Amino acid sequence: MYQDYIITAMSLLVIALIIGGITVRRYNIPYLYFLACTVLNATFLTDIAGNTIVKVMYPWFIPLFFLIGPGLYGSYCSVEERKDRWHIIHYLPVFLGYVILILELGFFNDYFYNTVQLAHDLKWESTSVFWPFSDKWIILAQPFHTLLYVVFSVRKLNATKARLPLFVLPIVQGISLIPLLDINYHFLTGEFLIFANDQVLRYAMFGLVFLIFWDVVNIRPRMQKQEEEKLKAYEAKKEAARQEALIQEAPKETYPNAGKVTNAEIVLYIERLIQGDEEFPFNKHSKKSDFIKHSPFKNPDWESFFSATSTNFGFFKKYARIHRALRLMEEGYLDNQSVETLAKTVGYSSRAPFYLAFEQIMGKSLTAYREI
């Protein structure tokens, strides 16, 4: 009878993983770690597939167990927090696990395969592929590792004053770690710590399976809508910082990131525009389509140029106008002409937009620049 239960529970977890993969966006990728590794953990511990999984995949799946906790916690962290370089510390057990496996496979091949054979025979007392820890110690430590991140998750939700339904998954996950520890222990030793038999354990864990399924279908889509605005704001902030960096670096070269452009002819063309060796186009052709039509290059060439330099036509037009103005000023243009005339010469209708563009490109006002 319990085999039908296991099949139902595993099917729900797999369906939850599929739904999560379809509905979860990149802001919440850690949640997919949590789902996928929960499925793997459950598959590993069931009588239906447990021994088969051990024989086919051991020991490569064991480090993935330590993604369940960080995946749960990471799903409550903001995009900014997850992009912080120190966030990687939560995934170190997984990285270290695979480093150890690769080193053992490369330098201690005989020991590695002897250990694998012991695991195939379920003789966990003698397996220690993750030296200095035995595999038995690692598998029993996994529920405690997850419990640590359950605590982190609850604290994170409390700090952000999250809605009550968001607390349900980590709290019930924490409670379910008690039978999970017993399941792990029974898998390793054939004995029980707390519960009377394995059927009780299976039914105790069934509630967690339903909860995960409910969370995937009900809670995460709502979180998705709330987080999308935060993600857009975060990306807008990053783009503003990038553009600011471009503006600050602009006077240092012919054009920002010009060294990344494969078509050097475009860079030379821009330099000729600035130096006055070519007719300055922006008085007649201020629209992008019109400019490209009358330039020596085709639209794909310009799109490749803007992509390589991480800029756009609006920035390019502003940059070329201001640097053309700088060139004219160096030639003594303002000795006999007004700023108003200079602004119109490089394509602005009056002084006001010229002053604004100058400060944006040069990082200082025209007056401050001329006082240097």
Both structure tokens of 252: 């240092």
pLDDT at 3: 64
Query: pLDDT digits over 75-91, tens only?
Result: 888 878 888 889 999 99
Segments in the chain below pLDDT 70:
1-5, 25-27, 46-54, 197-203, 224-228, 231, 239-253
Helix/strand/coil for 46: coil
pLDDT at 105: 82
- Contact at 8 Å (CB) between 216 and 20? yes
pLDDT at 39: 86
pLDDT at 121: 74
pLDDT at 247: 47
pLDDT at 148: 96
Q: 318: burial class by Cβ within 10 Å (0-12, 13-18, 19+)?
A: buried
pLDDT at 251: 38
pLDDT at 101: 87
pLDDT at 95: 93
CA 312-314-317 angle, to 5 degrees, is 105
* Average pLDDT for the chain: 82
Q: What is the 3-state secondary structure (H, E, C) of 178-199?
A: HHHHHHHHHHHHCCCCCCCCHH
Return all residues near 342 (Cβ < 8 A) that are at least 6 apart.
Answer: 325, 328, 329, 333, 334, 354
- Contact at 8 Å (CB) between 305 and 256? no
